[in-house]
Chains A and B, each alone.
Chain A
Amino acid sequence: MIKKYPTAVFSAVVDGIKLSRRCLGVAMVCLVILAGCSRSVTVTGTVPTPLVTELPIVVGVLVSEDFKSYVHAEKLPRGGGQWQIEVGTLQTRFFDALLNELFVDARWVNEMNCDLAGQGLGSAVDGCPQGYVQLELKEYAFLMPELSGLNFVSTSIKYQLTLFSDAGDVLDSWTFVGYGKSDIGAFQAVEALNNASVEALRDAGARIALEWPKLPGVAAWLQSHRGTMDG
């Protein structure tokens, strides 16, 4: 009786292996297919309310329709698959919240054409923005562990922020990059890419909030309006 137990265990193991052979084959075929498939990511996340000193300025915010619906499409080498990453929706909400906290009023406009008094652009008219900021997404890039050899996903988003006077003159143009990274677990590439993209957005927002007002052209413009506000 006792001698039968090891044999029974071995037989059970072999039966189990035979049963799982078919499942293993199906799983392997699925993995091969998935590796070459396209993957679509809509970047989602929380939009925090920034704790920043409010600038007593009314600005018009200019962004293109491409910015609001930006999708990055890329085919990765070495069988990395086709990726489509939609960041337009979240970045629009994010920068709307940021700019509305950074300025006393940030109005999203289609063009610099505020001329309420009919006296031409640049006239200091109540109700018109005191300047315009144009935000453009220049480049979105990401790096997966299969290519970098590291154990995290990293993303970088390059923006250009241009400051215009109320008359439409360029006062400052600043190109900067927001960077983000996220650890990756098994079968969590999409989640890691989402998290890294959100972190890159937050980094870009932090740079706008803390670094942009200190740029020479921007600081001079802010000071001129502070002087006007103070009388």
Chain B
Amino acid sequence: MAKRLTRGTRLDGRLQWSFVLLSLICLLQSCATTRVEQSRQTTSELEQGEALVILGRATYNDRETEVSFTDCLATSLGQGRNPIRLVPQTQFKNDLYPWFEPRTAPTNASDLAQLFAEAGVKEQIERTNIRYLAWIEGDTVTIDKGGSLSCAVSTFGGGCFGMSYWEQDASYEASIWDLKNLSASGQISADANGTSYLAGLVLPIPILARPGNAACKGLAEQLRTFVTGG
């Protein structure tokens, strides 16, 4: 005799399918293409116990490096094979206040000698054994978008219908300064591009490219290779 499904059993089944569908949606990702380039001026590398500081270049206009990007770099460099000892950006700025504020920070490696002549700066950097500064500049911008997606809710129900897309370009550059030799060590640039989609099939289904994340991973790996030589 066939088993008759009860209302409770039908509801549990529907919830299970909804969960499976949402999980599959979360796994969908669009692609991002990344290009990383490096220019090296010195061959020195991090020695045992030496540290790296990642600083986002702050400006007073509307374009500046996102804190989330420098945090992503710090997370990537502090993990994985060959983790690097990092001094947090906030701690570094507090320890060397007021010399690395947006208004006062050196803009060129040639300014390091003058900075180190200021009272207490050299001693503080030696105390924390910081070897390299990595200035990160750049941002992620939306360069194209289109399509149409509309969502509506009514007494009879609701949902989203349509398709929209947006293309983002993430372009970042790291300038590495050697604080032991008071000179520029090199530059690394990372460019990533990707198109994200949002499809409306009753529920909005995002298919995200995340070029910022791709640029972060590419830049972090190249930076790790740059400062450790491996």
CB-CB under 8 A for A18 and B18, given A51-B118, A207-B103, A210-B104: no
Main secondary structure of the interface of A (DSSP, over half): helix
Whether A113 is near chain B, meaning CB under 8 Å from some CB there, is no
B118 CB contacts on chain A under 8 angstroms: 51, 53
Given A12-B14, A181-B60, A17:B157 Cβ within 8 A: yes
Query: Of all chain B residues, which has the CB nearest A181?
Result: B60
In the complex, per-residue mask of A7-30: 1 if CB is within 8 Å of any chain B CB, else 0: 011111111111001001000000
Across the interface, which residues of A come within 8 angstroms of B95, CB to CB? Answer: 48, 51
Q: Which of A12, A150, A207 sits near B62, CB closer than 8 Å?
A: A150
State which of A12, A52, A54 has its C-beta within 8 Å of the C-beta of B98. A52
Residues of A within 8 A of B202 (CB): 10, 13, 17
Q: From the candidates A12, A53, A203, A206, name the one contacting B15 in the complex (CB within 8 A).
A: A12
Q: Which of A14, A46, A51 contacts B124 (CB 8 A)?
A: A51
Question: Chain B interface: which size bin?
Answer: 35 or more
B:94-113 near A, CB below 8 Å: 94-99, 101-104
Complex alpha-carbon distance, A52 and B98, angstroms: 8
Rounded to whole Å, the gap between the CB of B63 and the closest CB of chain A is 10
Contact among A14, A21, A52, A151 with B119 in the assembled complex (CB-CB below 8 Å):
A52
Q: Check A209 for interface membership: any CB of B closer than 8 A.
A: yes
Q: How many residues of A contact B (CB 8 A)?
A: 36
Is B121's CB under 8 angstroms from A21's CB? no
Residues from chain A with Cβ under 8 Å of B14 in the complex: 8-9, 11-12, 15
With an 8 A cutoff between CB atoms, is B229 at the interface?
A: no
Contacts A53-B118, A183-B67, A206-B103 known; A13 to B97 CB distance under 8 Å?
no
Do A48 and B18 touch across chains, with their CB atoms under 8 A apart?
A: no
In the complex, what's the smallest C-beta–C-beta distance from B74 to chain A, in angstroms?
17
Distance in angstroms from A49 CB to nearest chain B CB is: 7
CB distance from A47 to the nearest CB of B (A): 9
- Let me know if A51 and B119 touch, CB within 8 A: yes
Q: List chain B residues, Cβ under 8 A from A179.
A: 60, 103
Instruction: Give chain A residues whose Cβ lies under 8 Å from the Cβ of B97.
Output: 48-51, 202, 205-206
Contact B67 A206 (CB under 8 A): no
Contact between chains at A51 and B121 (CB < 8 Å): yes
A199 — which chain B residues lie within 8 A by C-beta?
Answer: 102
A49 to B21, CA, bound (A): 54
Chain A residues near B124 (CB, 8 Å)?
51
Chain B residues with CB under 8 A of A187 = none
The CA of A209 and the CA of B101, in the complex, are separated in Å by 12
Return chain A residues, CB-CB under 8 Å to B21. Answer: 9
Contact residues, A195-231 vs B (CB, 8 A) = 199, 202-203, 205-207, 209-210
Chain A residue nearest to B19 in the complex (CB): A12
The answer, yes or no, to whether A152 is at the interface (CB within 8 Å) is yes
Most chain-A Cβ atoms within 10 A of its Cβ — which of B11, B14, B93, B202? Answer: B14
> How far is A221 from B82 in the complex, measured between Cα atoms in Å?
55
Chain A residues with Cβ below 8 Å from B90 are 46
Which residues of the other chain, B, contact A50 by a CB distance below 8 angstroms?
97-98
Which B-chain residue is minimally distant from A205 (CB atoms)?
B98
Q: Does B147 contact A (CB under 8 A)?
A: no
Q: Which B residues have a C-beta under 8 Å from some C-beta of A?
A: 10-11, 13-15, 17-18, 21, 60, 62, 64, 66-67, 90, 93-99, 101-104, 118-121, 124, 153, 157-159, 202-203
29 CB contacts below 8 A, A to B, read A8-B10, A9-B14, A9-B17, A9-B21, A12-B15, A14-B157, A15-B11, A17-B153, A21-B153, A46-B90, A46-B94, A48-B93, A51-B95, A51-B96, A51-B97, A51-B98, A52-B98, A52-B120, A54-B119, A150-B62, A152-B62, A179-B60, A183-B67, A199-B102, A202-B97, A202-B98, A205-B98, A206-B97, A210-B104
Q: Which 8 A-B pairs have the closest CB atoms?
A: A12-B14, A206-B98, A48-B97, A51-B120, A48-B94, A12-B18, A53-B119, A150-B62
